[in-house]
Amino acid sequence: MADLIHIVYLSYSVKELSESELNSLLATIRRKNEVQNITGLLLYNDEAFIQVIEGNRETIHQIFDLISKDSRHSNIVKLLEEPITKRAFPDWSMGFRKIDKEQNLQLPGFSDFMHTDKSTVSMKGITKEVMHLLNSFRKHT
């Protein structure tokens, strides 16, 4: 797959989402992602999202641009963007898991980054940490 990348980002919902709203959002995302050949993972915890989107560079940039302008998100931080040789979530049009604080504490390598007050946290060189968190989540949930 030429020109394959992934972007990992963090954002906050402008309001708490009900189970019904989350399910509706996921249904919409999955339909759109399937059409555009986008795969990934979405985690939701207390109004905070962390998402991995993977696919063609141009398409991923377009999707991230739309997400960045979406009024349902606030404080969007791109954690990681890099080329990849293969997809981490090839069969998931958008894998999803809602996690709570108790589940967070059980994840190896867990960091409370999603709820820190530090807005100037350095994002450079965190590829290993981001992928460790995502892989730990996938393995242990």
> Comparing C-alpha atoms, which of 4, 141, 25 is closest to residue 83?
4
Residue 62's SS3 state is: helix
Q: pLDDT digits over 45-104, tens only?
A: 778 888 889 999 999 999 999 999 999 888 898 988 999 999 888 877 665 555 555 544
**Which long-range contacts does 125-133 make (Cβ < 8 Å, 24+ apart)?**
126/79, 126/80, 127/80, 127/82, 130/8, 130/79, 130/80, 131/88, 133/107, 133/109
Residue 107 confidence (pLDDT) above 80: no
> Of 1.20.120.80, 3.40.50.1100, 2.40.128.20, 3.30.70.100, which CATH number belongs to 4-140?
3.30.70.100
In the chain, what are the domain boundaries? 4-140
Candidates 34, 60, 32, 45; CA nearest to 96 is 45
Which range in 22-31, 52-61, 83-92, 129-138 is most confidently predicted, on average pLDDT?
Answer: 52-61
State how far the Cα of 135 lies from the Cα of 122, in Å rounded to an integer.
Answer: 21
**Which is it for strands 39-45 and 48-56: parallel, antiparallel or unpaired?**
antiparallel
Six token digits for residue 45: 């915890």
pTM check: above 0.75 = no
Cα–Cα nearest to 51, from 80, 15, 27: 80
The Cα–Cα gap between 38 and 23 comes to 18
